[in-house]
Every structure is written in structure tokens, then in C-alpha cells.
Amino acid sequence: MPCLYVYFYVYVCFALTFSSILPDTSLLINVMIEKLYNRQSILLQNGSTFRFPKGTYTLMLETIKTRQYNGVLEGKILKISCPRFASHRIRTFSVAKIFRKLIAQEHIRWLQTYVEVMHERYFPNVQSNFVRFKDMKTRWGSCSSKKNLNFSNTLLFIPPNLQFYLIAHEMAHLEHLHHKREFWNRMATLVPTYKKDAVQLRRTRIVFELKLS
Ligand SMILES: [Zn+2]
């Protein structure tokens, strides 16, 4: 045990002495995270177009004098306005939140139909209750004991194979409300590539970037 203290002391002395020439730790951590995660950047700027299951949508971004953030969908045009004077971080967060919400509202029927078709094909003997999008921060989806299916509104930004995996995963919880062997055996019958998809989804990070002209 005393040996550990000695090592620690030597390490601290070394770090303090050579901290100016050692690489920045936060930079190293960022590089490691970049390698671990598959970051997909979504650039939000005026005139950008986005393809979703219900079609192609164009973003119209404007800055306004007030402090409010507003968003409305007119046909296939997403109109979002944000305050002229606000920090870039808060503006990016708020615009991305409105953007995801509007696209999710537009696709709620698409999601419910997706689940209905899955019920007919793979889950005819179980029922689900509410099916909805949620602004989830750390999860992709959930299935409650009341059989409510919730999906992150970021689901619309991931590839179709991962959408299928995620929806099948949450629906399999209608039969098995746990992650034990029976659950994964069921997943294997639904999605042969479930192991690969699970890893891919876990590593996927959708990052929104805002560019105002
Ligand atoms: Zn699960």
C-alpha cells in the first residue's frame, strides 16, 4: 500500500513539473470520445433541406429582436426565429429543440402506423397503449409497464435499419419487460443483425450545429 502513495506522489510531481509540455487532457478525452462515438452532425442554417420519411423539408431561419424562440411548419417549410442577441450555445440548443419537435409532430402518424404494421406482422398477440415521440436526453426509447411506447424525437435522424432495430426493441419489451435471455432470443428472431445494430445505435450521437448568416 505505501508503494501506491509513492507512485501517486511521483506522478503528481511529474505532472506538476511537466504540465506545460504534456498534451491537453481534455483534448485527448475529446479525441477518445470521437473515436468511441459515431457523431453525426446536422447543420441548421437558413435554406438547408432535410429528408425525412414524409418528404423533404426546408429550414427558414431568422433572427429577431425579441427574446423569444418561435417555430412553425408551413407545408414543407420549417420557419424558426431566434433572438438576435443570445449566446450561440443557447441558440443552438433552442433552435435544435424546436426543429426536432416540429419534425416529430409532423411524423407522429408515421410512427404510429409503423408500430401498427409491426403489431400486425410481429406482435399480433400484445397491445401497446400510447405511442409518442418525446424529447429524450439520454435514451433512444422506452416501454413502460403500462405498455406506453416512447421514442426519442431524434429517431427521425438515424438510418432506417436503426429505426427498425429501436422500434422492434421497444416493442419486444411489450412481451418481455427486461433484458434477460428471453428478450434477446426474441430480438434475434425479429432483427438478425440486432447485436451489430445495438452497438451502432449506442455509439450514435446526433449533434446539431447552428449557423446564422
Ligand atoms: Zn430495452
If we measure between CA atoms, which residue out of 108, 106, 112, 110 comes closest to residue 77? 106
β-bridge partners, 77:
58, 74
Residue 35 lies in a domain: no
| For the chain, percent of residues with pLDDT exceeding 90 | 75
Tell me, in angstroms, the distance from the centre of ligand 1 to residue 116's CA.
Answer: 19
For 118-167, the pLDDT digits (tens) are 999 999 999 999 999 999 988 999 999 999 999 999 999 999 999 999 99
| Cα gap 192→195, rounded to integer Å | 8
The domain that holds 157 is classified in CATH as 3.30.2010.10
Tell me, in angstroms, the distance from the centre of ligand 1 to residue 138's CA.
Answer: 13
If we measure between CA atoms, which residue out of 53, 200, 189, 92 comes closest to residue 140? 200
For 11-60, the pLDDT digits (tens) are 545 545 555 555 556 666 656 655 677 889 999 999 999 999 999 999 99
Q: Which residue range(s) make up the domain with 135?
A: 108-204
Is the domain of 59 the same as that of 101? Answer: yes
Alpha helices in 78-173 (DSSP H): 88-106, 108-121, 160-172
Q: What is the mean pLDDT of residues 74-91?
A: 93
Residue 213 lies in a domain: no
Is the domain of 113 the same as that of 95? Answer: no
Q: Among 74, 105, 136, which residue terminates a domain?
A: 105
Structural domains counted in the chain = 2
Is the domain of 131 the same as that of 101? Answer: no
Tell me, in angstroms, the distance from the centre of ligand 1 to residue 183's CA.
Answer: 9
